[in-house]
Amino acid sequence: MSRQLIAYQQPNVLELRLEQLSQRPAAGFLEAFRFGGVDGPEAELRARIESLSFERKSGGRPDSHYRKGVAGDWANHFDEEDRACFKKEFPDIVERLGYEPAVVW
């Protein structure tokens, strides 16, 4: 039986996509902080976000143990069995989240 999917249109659910966070990390995390009730001066929050950024944590090293942080990188790690299992568990999630199935699969 497939898992129940979250109804994203609820006021207590904030949907942030990796694509958004990759392109504008500070803006995305600020949105998440504000949504979660974290208050504070924007400059202070931005400085904290920057101090925890992927670039800062990895030091720019290609051999870093941190994940690449690239949208779509999951496709490099899913084999056909993984894809089949994912499709079985979440048959319409790709379309529901607004992604093009042909691009994803």
pLDDT digits (tens, 9 = 90+) for 3-56: 555 666 778 888 888 788 778 888 999 999 999 999 889 999 989 888 887 777
pTM, to two decimals: 0.60
Domain-by-domain residue ranges, the chain? Answer: 14-61, 72-105
Q: What is the largest CA-CA distance in the chain?
A: 47
pLDDT digits (tens, 9 = 90+) for 67-79: 566 777 777 888 8
* Residues counted in the chain: 105
CA 25 vs CA 1, 13, 47: distances in Å: 36, 19, 12
pLDDT of residue 36: 93
pLDDT of residue 2: 44
Contacts by 25-28, CB closer than 8 A, 24 or more apart: 25/49, 25/53, 25/54, 26/50
Choice among 22-26, 59-63, 93-97 with the minimum mean pLDDT: 59-63
Task: Please report which residue ranges of 1-105 form alpha helices under DSSP H.
Answer: 18-23, 25-35, 42-51, 54-58, 80-89, 93-96, 101-104
